[in-house]
Amino acid sequence: MIAEEETVIHVTPDASWLPRHGRAEVVRRSIPPTPMCVARLLLRQADQIFCVPRSETGRLDLPMRVVEPNDPTGLIGITELAEQVTGHGTGLVFAGAVRNVVESRQDDYAWPTPHAHFGVWVSENMPTVEGAWVNISDDPQLRDRHWFPLVM
């Protein structure tokens, strides 16, 4: 088996949203790592990306789905998400992931340790659901998204 090459493109040490000493690494790679916890769908037209409101906050974000434990690479989850958003679950390309690195289990941390991945897949299909096309260079609210370095 050949090891997957990845490029770490951004690191947030002592990430405020993780337990103490946790870090977030944004990695570019072509094969989804495990365990995958969340699948996000990136639909892009030039400098615009398709976003939908988050159910918890209403803030715009990439369409997403929490991945079930029996789907360690997220392929089932992203296929279902793409079918829901575009009507097609094919032609998906893995772009990379945000990897949470938390050394030991914490009661208030819901994800696996020491690694939890939040993947981004790209599709060339167009959305069939309501949402908004957002210019990634003009919209400051997207810059704080953990996945943002993957789209730049």
Residue 82 has phi, psi (to 5 degrees) of -60, -40
- State how far the alpha carbon of 49 is from the alpha carbons of 17, 63, 85, 128, 134, in Å: 25, 11, 13, 14, 5
Q: Which of 63, 78, 60, 73 is nearest to 135 (CA)?
A: 60
pLDDT confidence band for 3 (50 / 70 / 90): low
Please identify which residue in the block is written with the tokens 């990306």.
Answer: 49
Q: pTM of the prediction?
A: 0.94
pLDDT confidence band for 2 (50 / 70 / 90): low
C-alpha of 82 from chain center: 13
Residue 1 has pLDDT above 80, yes or no: no
pLDDT for position 95:
97
pLDDT digits (tens, 9 = 90+) for 49-83: 999 999 888 889 999 999 999 999 999 999 999 99
Question: Residue 100: beta bridge partners?
Answer: 24, 116
